[in-house]
Amino acid sequence: MRFKWVLLFVIMLLLAGCQSSYWVLEKDRIGEGSPDLEIYAKHLQMHDDVKGYQVFTISEGKKMAVVSLRSSENEKQLEVSDVKFSSKETVVTVKRKPAPEANEKNPYILIGLDKIDGEFIVQDEKGNRFEETDYQQ
C-alpha cells in the first residue's frame, strides 16, 4: 500500500515538472529581465499608438512577451486570464480591466514564459488577436 502512495507522489512530481509555466513581471522589476525590456517600455510610452506584442529573450533562454493596448485605452490595464501550451502553439489570453489610475500613456503587461512552442498567439477573452509590433530590436 505504501508503495502505491510513493509511486503516485513521484508521478505527480514528474507531471508538475513537465508543464511549461508563465509569470507576470512587476513593472518596477523590469530591469531584471533585460535592458531591451526597459528600452521597449520607454518606446511604448513615447509611441502611445502602438498596440500589440513584442517577444524578447531573457535569461536562460526564457521569453518575455510585452503586450500593449495604445493610448485610447489608457484607463485600462491588462491581466493574464489563461496561457495554454501545446507543441503546435502557445496561446496567451489577456483581459482588460479598469486601471486604478491612468498613469501610463500606453498600458502594457510583461508576461514571462518558460518557452514558446509553435505559433505564438496573444488574444483577448473575445478571441481578438494582438499582432506583433514592428519594433526593431
Alpha helices in the chain (DSSP H): 2-18, 35-46
pLDDT tens per residue across all 137 residues of the chain: 665 555 455 555 455 445 569 999 999 999 887 889 999 999 999 999 999 999 999 988 899 999 999 988 888 999 999 999 999 999 999 999 998 876 789 999 999 999 999 999 999 999 999 999 998 87
Q: Are 69 and 96 in contact (CB under 8 A)?
A: yes
Instruction: Phi first, then psi: give them for residue 8, nearest 5 degrees.
Output: -60, -45
- Sign of the torsion formed by the C-alpha atoms of 86, 88, 89 and 90: positive
pTM of the model: 0.83
Q: Which of 7, 47, 44 is nearest to 27 (CA)?
A: 44
Instruction: Phi first, then psi: give them for residue 117, nearest 5 degrees.
Output: -110, 140
- As given in the structure block, the three cell numbers for residue 68 are 500593449
Supply the pLDDT for residue 4. 55
Supply the pLDDT for residue 7. 47
Instruction: Could you list the beta-strand ranges (E) of 5-118.
Output: 22-25, 52-57, 63-68, 76-85, 89-98, 108-113
- Looking up cell 509590433 gives 133
